[in-house]
Chain A
Amino acid sequence: MPLDLNYAPGAADEADDDFIDDDDLPGPSSRGKKGGASGGKGGGKGKDPGRHAWEAEYKKSWDIVQEDEKGSLESAVESLLARGRRKRALMADTPLRRSIIRHMFIILDLSDSMMDKDYRPTRFEVILGYLRTYVVEWFDQNPLGQIGIIIMRDRLSEVLVPMGGNPQEILSVLSDKRKLEPSGEPSLQNGLMMAKGGMSHLPTTSSLETLIIFSSISTADPDGPVTIHNVLQEMVDSKIRTNILSLSGEIKICKQISERTNGKFGVALDQDHLKDLMWDTIPPPATTIAPPITVGVRNALAGAGAGQRGGAVGKAPAGDLMVMGFPIQLPLGGETLCACHGLLKKGGYLCPRCGSKLCDVPTDCEVCGLMVVSSPHLARSFWFLFPVANYRVLAIEDVMDSINGNGDTCFGCDVEFPDVSTIEEGVAQVEDGVSPTGRYRCAKCRNDFCADCDLYIHDTLHTCPGCSQ
């Protein structure tokens, strides 16, 4: 698809871009691709067979998609798109304090119920597949975050991947299916205990989260003085946010856990909905403010910090300070031993404090514990602080007024906009949020974009190409 290829360079300054092949662009970007295509079709009435991706996407959700009087699904798809846009509009309007540095445990239910065949081929396969793309997308959006994976099976929990910032390691473990064979029942209590233990050493400055993918309908917890309610209280006390995605239905204890810990509880209707729910957890959550450690320094810098944030967080205390280092990249010369794995490797980075060699950034230095990041990571982590403002939907009259100001093509991808005069009245009646003219205008640079670019810019790129020129 030309659309995505055009913008591939935008994502290519990522250190981990080599994992993204074009067909498997994860998350919102792929959703944007599919959904956007249909939106484009709605406007352009193109007959390109490749654009029928939405047919597969929405095929099973009879309940959501209903044919309009002409027997076409266009309006239904468009209303779906509109819902997404409205959701984003709501989210963007509320300035929130968010954590850049996230530590998340993905707690994976590997009980017998994962072999259920209601997802094809099995829940297990589907979720592993999603997890692989999820992890990549997650690191893409949260370069400074770290992920660990815990699995629950046979009433035990086990750390599959310890907390770390390297998606490659996680992916390699996730691809080994033999080690992940589902069996027995899950124990939510053990899983949470394990996650809590694995995060106990982390500073309160970072956002502590767990994402539980729960397939079973019950949890088999150990007998004894400690109940799941105690564990829940500990989770609340240590401010670990718990998001739970259930594949089966509303389970009281899960709902209670996520509500008490400020997390989200979701029940997946089907595979696609599960994906949506998973991807909803990618943007950093609003933080519950932890007591700062470096009070003195914080106060000294408070004035400057508050000014920068433009009063949006006027009441909230300024953030805490933390130590980070920018590493020196080594040339791809001879092989040297790395500090993190003890293996001979080419290339790598040098810790600016202790000078030990690290394979990959971002990471915590094995030797001195310094957080080693590269400046693009840091920059990318800021995207949600300065989100691209929502583009204005252009009505027919607006286009008529300003038709001379902008060209007839999208500023992003050069696709031609539909001719204003040919637009039917019926299409213009779709719900608000979708432009009848197919144009969306940036308020700052006053450039027009098509629906696809609009989605791509807001969901993936996080910077307006017009403004940055």
Chain B
Amino acid sequence: MKFMLGDLPVLFPYDRLYPEQYSYMADLKTTLDAGGHCVLEMPSGTGKTVSLLSLIVSYMQFYPTKRKLIYCSRTVPEIEKALAELKRLMEYRAEMGANDGEFRGLGLTSRRNLCLHPEVSKEKKGKIVDSRCRDLTSAFACEKGRANPGSVPLCSYHEELNNYEAGNLIPPGIYTIDDVKKYGKEKGVCPYFTIRRMLPFLDVVIYSFHYLLDPKVAEQVSAEMSKESIVVFDEAHNIDNVCIESLSIDLTRPMLDSAARSVNKISDKIAEIKETDSQKLEDEYKKLVEGLQEANEAREDEDMMVSPVLSKDMLDEAVPGNIRKAEHFIAFLKRFIEYLKTRMRVLHVVAETPQSFLAHLKEITYIEKRPLKFAAERLTSLVRTLELTNIDEHYSLQKVASFGTLVATYEKGFLLILEPYETEHATVPNPIFHFTCLDPSLAIAPVFERFSSVVITSGTISPLDMYPKILQFRPVTEQSYPMTLTRNAFLPMVITRGSDQVPISSRFEVRNDPAVVRNFGSILIDMAKTVPDGVVAFFPSYLYMESIVSAWYDMGILSEVWKHKLLFVETPDAMETSIALRNYREACNNGRGAVMLSVARGKVSEGIDFDHNYGRAVIMFGIPYQYTESRILKARLEFLRDNHRIRENDYLTFDAMRHAAQCVGRVLRGKTDWGLMVFADKRFARTDKRAKLPKWINAYITEAHSNLSTDVAISLAKKFIRQISQPFDHTQTGISLWTLEDIERRQLQDKEDAEKAEEELKASTGKNYRNGTINGNGEGEGDVDVDYVMDDYEGEMDDDELARLDIPDDL
């Protein structure tokens, strides 16, 4: 349908619209108009993606500036879903006669998902695919291969691309990842490089967070994006962690050993080249004297060997003299690796700032800060000069070099932590050297600086004010939308006590108390008995899950659960987990029913949807607090307290509750879906915890359901399940589905509100009228009332007609 949002005609590819989608689009438009950033929370399954896309595409096409859209999502399936949605939208726009001209939209993902090369595509690991592809497509290989065909194996798909006009490698239109692959197969071109080279010409780009946030990739991929682009981070509730990860590096002993081996290999290679082709090394030396920038000019599609620091921190000067010569650089690396090895022999925990690390480094090895800064760049240059193949072998060495560069570049917001033992009770040392970023705003700052509009959105991103604080930006709009439902599709319950009235909690002091463990167990048994099909249970950590499951086994609780459902457990191993998930799904499909025991921060809680029968209930055993004894976390908390004035407890609760919300949100993936949400911990009853849950969940936790014992909760659950299983008409037109008339009615209402506000303004000057309208747009509770209110008016004025009159005015 087509409707007007202010002066902007919006084409929406469905006949009906959810009220929250309307508010979402209205707020989004306000933000884009104002040219600022925003944080928006809308429940999953209410068509967030389609509202985003349809508004932004309409916006892009209507206004002459033709801003681009960069849409970042988290996983490949999500990217694929967004592309399919966009494709549908564009088809609809074409049907409606919108002239979009040469509109292009593509999604970028890793080589592993896109490769067509008959041998390379069979590789399973992303790193190996990348490195093998690079061997076949790197600039020097191509040069050699073209000059002397057959001397070097080349990828025919990549070569074929040269026959196409740059900027027109693929005809205009929207291509999903599968479409591009199909196109590539047909024409014999490489899908990956097609997309990579087309990036500057695209109107819509959909890819993963890392392409914008991770400096190792961002510089390569996203540098050419215009400043006017609209950037959207979908599923962004974990964006701070992504930022931190992209600037953090962990080193282990085996990595150092492997790095040392790489160094030796490279030095052999240098010796070999010196004998055969010393000219090459000479050339490189000269280039390095001239400066780094020129040295990098030749590079094209090598996104692996790049600097790990942000572009603005990259130095625009020549490489220091003492590492210009290849031999010297190798010696330098050897020294650095040896130094790190000695550091790792220490058997107590060390936490130090980059400065003190550098001072100590200088004392022992005479390595200065400046050359260290250039370690990663210098290594890249060397690798290119030596024309090394199989770069993945040197992965560890790259890490070490990146580590050096990062340590030398950043002083503030980082910490070095050496942990000699993996766990507290371990006796065999397995040291890990963490270089951790404490400030997520560092990685995202360039994005906020560069792009005028950044939209951060997710199904669970409460409390909204936390994100601007930790990411250091100022949003124009912060809004959370409720879910309008004509029936209560989910039942959140807080269980604070067992049937024996013993309070339950995963607090450290009581978590292994047999009474608590038993009561957790009885919740699981009763839920398994009551809820059909799939049940998902989340624990705060793997460790706790292990201990509690083994306790349950001893108590005979597991065998009781087995009577009703099969049991599957998530493990840190991705392979095992995916097998468990597959079997879990099967058990849910054939009626056996199953319980999935998983961990709140695990893979399952983040990326897997438990829609419909795959998740009829989700149980949170305890509050998923982070392991507070972790030194990295402690350092981060300290940093937040000192720099952003966020109290430790606030941050911990925020982090725990967003994970809890993320977990329980897994079961409700749409308006036809239903599920139970059980929060089993007495601390969930406290309002300070509950207030941090997303509005759409919190609104349904009534007082009566916020302090239950197990038996009461089970009887409520039974009743709920029977109620919700009744046949239901899902065409909820008017209340939670709007037609064009409803929208126009709403707009009229808004206008009236605005007028009223204006009158009030006249009456009492000084109040901001604009704020009034914005709030009016987002006000959730008003949604249902609209119909009634307008019904009253209908006698006096024909609002349809009025609304129709509105349109020409706006046009």
Q: Chain A interface (Cβ within 8 Å of chain B)?
A: 63, 118, 185, 188, 217-221, 227-229, 246, 248-254, 267-269
B532 touches A221 (CB 8 A): no
Q: How long is the Cα–Cα vector from A250 to B590 in the complex, in angstroms?
A: 13
As a 0/1 sequence over residues 523 to 562 of chain B, the CB contacts with chain A under 8 angstroms (1 = contact) are: 0000001111100000000000000000000000000000
A218, A221, A254, A268, most chain B CB atoms within 10 A: A218
Q: How far is the CB of B643 from chain A (nearest CB, A)?
A: 50
**Interface secondary structure of B, over-half rule:** loop
Q: Is the CB of B591 within 8 A of A218?
A: yes
| Extra pairs beyond A219-B591, A267-B721 (17, CB < 8 Å) | A218-B533, A219-B592, A228-B591, A229-B589, A229-B590, A246-B725, A248-B718, A249-B530, A249-B531, A249-B616, A249-B724, A251-B533, A251-B613, A252-B613, A253-B589, A267-B726, A269-B723
B591 adjacent to A185 (CB under 8 Å): no
B592 touches A217 (CB 8 A): no
- Asked whether A217 and B722 contact (CB < 8 A) given A252-B613, A253-B591, the answer is no
B565 at the interface (CB under 8 A from A): yes
* B591 CB contact (under 8 Å) in A63, A251, A269: A251
The contact of B592 among A220, A246, A267, by CB within 8 Å, is A220
Query: For B616, what are the chain A residues with a Cβ–Cβ distance below 8 Å?
Result: 249
Chain B interface residue count, Cβ-Cβ cutoff 8 angstroms:
24
Contact with A along B561-572 (1 / 0, CB 8 A): 001110000000
Q: B397 near A: Cβ within 8 Å?
A: no
B593 contacts chain A at the CB level, 8 A cutoff: yes
Contact, CB under 8 Å: B591 / A250: no
Within 8 A of A (CB), among B722-738: 722-726
Given contacts A185-B563, A249-B725, whether A217 and B529 have CB atoms under 8 Å apart is: yes
Is B612 among interface residues, defined by CB-CB distance under 8 A? yes
Counting CB contacts under 8 A, is B588 at the interface? yes
Expressed in whole angstroms, the Cα–Cα distance for A220 and B591 within the complex equals 8
Q: Chain B residues near A246 (CB, 8 Å)?
A: 532, 725
Given contacts A188-B591, A218-B592, whether A250 and B532 have CB atoms under 8 Å apart is yes
In the complex, per-residue mask of B608-622: 1 if CB is within 8 Å of any chain A CB, else 0 = 000011001000000
Q: How distant is the Cα of A248 from the Cα of B590 in the complex, in angstroms?
A: 17
Pair A250/B588 contact, Cβ less than 8 Å? no
User: What residue of chain B has the Cβ atom nearest to residue A252's Cβ?
Assistant: B613
Tell which of B592, B722, B724 touches A221, judged by Cβ atoms closer than 8 Å. B592
Indicate whether A252 sits within 8 Å of B563 (C-beta atoms), given known contacts A118-B718, A218-B532: no
A221 to B589, CA, bound (A): 12
Do A217 and B723 have beta carbons less than 8 Å apart? no
The answer to whether A249 touches B590 (Cβ under 8 A) is no
Partner of B722 from the list A219, A227, A228, A269 (CB cut-off 8 Å) is: A269
Q: In the complex, what residue of chain B is closest to A232 when comparing beta carbons? A: B590
Chain A residue at minimal CB-CB distance from B726: A267
Please report the C-alpha to C-alpha distance between residue A141 and residue B147 in the assembled complex, in whole angstroms: 90
Chain A nearest Cβ from B789, distance in angstroms = 23
> Which interface residue of A249, A267, A268 has the most chain B CB atoms within 10 A?
A249
Residues of chain A within 8 A (CB-CB) of B613 are: 251-252
How far is the CB of A140 from the nearest CB of chain B, in Å? 27
Q: Which residues of A are found within 8 Å of B721, using beta-carbon distances?
A: 248-250, 267
Residue among B531, B565, B589, B590 having the largest count of chain A Cβ atoms under 10 Å: B590
Whether B530 contacts A248 by the Cβ 8 Å rule is yes
Task: Please indicate the chain A residues that have their CB under 8 angstroms from the CB of B723 in the complex.
Answer: 63, 269
CA A219 – CA B565 in complex, angstroms?
Answer: 9
Query: In the assembled complex, which residues on chain B have CB atoms less than 8 Å from the CB atom of A220?
Result: 592
List B residues 588-634 near A (Cβ within 8 Å).
588-593, 612-613, 616
**Which 5 pairs across A and B sit closest by C-beta, in order of nearness?**
A253-B591, A252-B613, A249-B721, A267-B725, A250-B725
6 contacts between A and B (CB under 8 A): A229-B589, A246-B532, A249-B532, A252-B591, A267-B722, A268-B722
The answer to whether A252 and B722 touch across the interface, beta carbons within 8 angstroms, is no
A218: chain B residues at CB < 8 Å are 532-533, 564-565, 591-593
The CB with the most chain A CB atoms within 10 A, among B564, B718, B723, B724, is that of B564
Give complex CA distance A228, B612 in Å.
Answer: 19
Chain B, 614-672, CB within 8 A of any chain A CB: 616
Bound complex: CA A118 to CA B593 (Å) = 22
Task: Give A149 to B723 CA distance when docked, in angstroms.
Answer: 29
Contacts of A217 in B (CB 8 A): 529-533, 564, 593
Do A252 and B533 contact each other (CB < 8 Å), given the known contacts A188-B591, A219-B591, A228-B591?
A: yes
Contact A248 B532, CB 8 Å, known A118-B718, A267-B726, A269-B723: yes
Interface centre among A63, A229, A248 (most CB of B within 10 A): A248
Complex CA gap A252/B585 in Å reads 12
Contact B725 A253 (CB under 8 A): no
Chain B positions 702 through 741: 1 when the CB is less than 8 Å from some CB of chain A, otherwise 0: 0000000000000000100111111000000000000000
Partner of A253, one of B564, B590, B612: B590
Are A221 and B591 in touch, CB under 8 angstroms? yes
CA–CA, A73 and B609, complex, Å: 45
CB contacts (< 8 Å) of B589 on chain A: these are 229, 252-253
Q: How far is the CB of B451 from chain A (nearest CB, A)?
A: 44
A268 / chain B contacts, CB cutoff of 8 Å: 722
Task: Give CA–CA (A118, B718) in the complex, Å.
Answer: 10
List chain A residues, Cβ under 8 A from B563: 185
Asked, given contacts A248-B530, A252-B613, whether A221 binds B590 with beta carbons under 8 Å apart, the answer is yes
Residues in A with CB closer than 8 Å to B564 are 217-218
Query: Once the chains are docked, how many angstroms separate the CA of A217 from the CA of B718?
Result: 11
Docked pose: A229 CA to B721 CA in angstroms: 25
B565 to chain A, nearest CB (A): 6
Bound state CA distance, A109 and B618, in angstroms? 27
Complex: A227 Cα to B589 Cα, angstroms: 11
Q: Please report the C-alpha to C-alpha distance between residue A188 and residue B589 in the assembled complex, in whole angstroms.
A: 13
CB-defined contacts of A252 to chain B, threshold 8 Å: 532-533, 588-589, 591, 612-613
How many whole Å from A114's CB to the nearest CB in chain B?
A: 13
Chain A residues, CB < 8 A from B532: 217-218, 246, 248-252
Return chain B residues, CB-CB under 8 Å to A254. Answer: 591
Please give me the residue from chain B that is nearest to A247 by CB atom. B722
| B-chain residues with CB within 8 Å of residue A228 when the two chains form the complex | 590-591
Q: Which chain B residues border A63 with CB–CB below 8 Å?
A: 723
A220 to B616, CA, bound (A): 19
Report how far A217 CA is from B590 CA in the complex, Å.
12
Q: For B533, list chain A residues within 8 Å (CB).
A: 217-218, 251-252
In the bound complex, do residue A227 and residue B590 qualify as a contact, i.e. CB atoms below 8 Å apart? yes
The docked-state distance in angstroms from the alpha carbon of A412 to that of B765 is: 75
How far does the alpha carbon of A269 sit from the alpha carbon of B721 in the complex, in Å? 9
Cβ contacts under 8 Å, B593 to chain A: 217-218
Least CB distance, A80 to chain B, in whole angstroms: 15
Whole-angstrom distance between the Cβ of A100 and the nearest chain B Cβ:
28
Residue on A nearest B534 in the bound complex, by CB: A252
Nearest residue, chain B, Cβ from A220: B592
Q: How far is the CB of A206 from chain B (nearest CB, A)?
A: 28
User: Inside 8 A of A248's CB, which chain B residues have their CB?
Assistant: 530, 532, 718, 721-722
Please give the distance in Å from A397's CB to the nearest CB on chain B. 26
Give the shortest distance, in Å, between A39 (CB) and chain B (any CB): 24
CB distance from B23 to the nearest CB of A (A): 31
Contacts of A188 in B (CB 8 A): 591
- Of B529, B591, B718, B726, most buried by chain A (CB within 10 Å of CB) is B591
